[in-house]
Amino acid sequence: MAVYAGTKTAVRAISKGLRQEAGEKLRVTVILPGFTLTNFAESMTNPEAKAQIVASMEKFAMSPDAIARAIAFAIEQPADVDVGRLLSGPPRRRNATSRKPG
């Protein structure tokens, strides 16, 4: 996980620098997708961890189509709109023990 976190930080820093250097010549959007249904678990060697990730994906993950729609949204904006960062995630779900407000 340390490498993953480090690469995410590097992408943000590089994107910020690119945005500053390019000025108005280039729009830079950092896509920060939330938990997304992928084949990530296929590469896992620990069976327990793999099963946990697969179960979590089946329960909580967004579809790749949802991320594609979010990216299309950023691309389709007019020239005078810059989507600098796009943070997406699955809808928040209440767990069974949550109380309703009021």
The dihedral region occupied by 64, where left means phi > 0, alpha psi between -120 and 50, and beta the remainder, is alpha
Q: Which of 1, 2, 3, 4 is catalytic?
A: 4
Distances (CA, A) of 10 to 3, 4, 6, 30, 52: 10, 10, 6, 11, 28
| Active-site annotation holds for 4 | yes
The backbone torsions φ and ψ at residue 87, rounded to the nearest 5 degrees and listed phi first, read -105, 120
Residues that are catalytic? 4
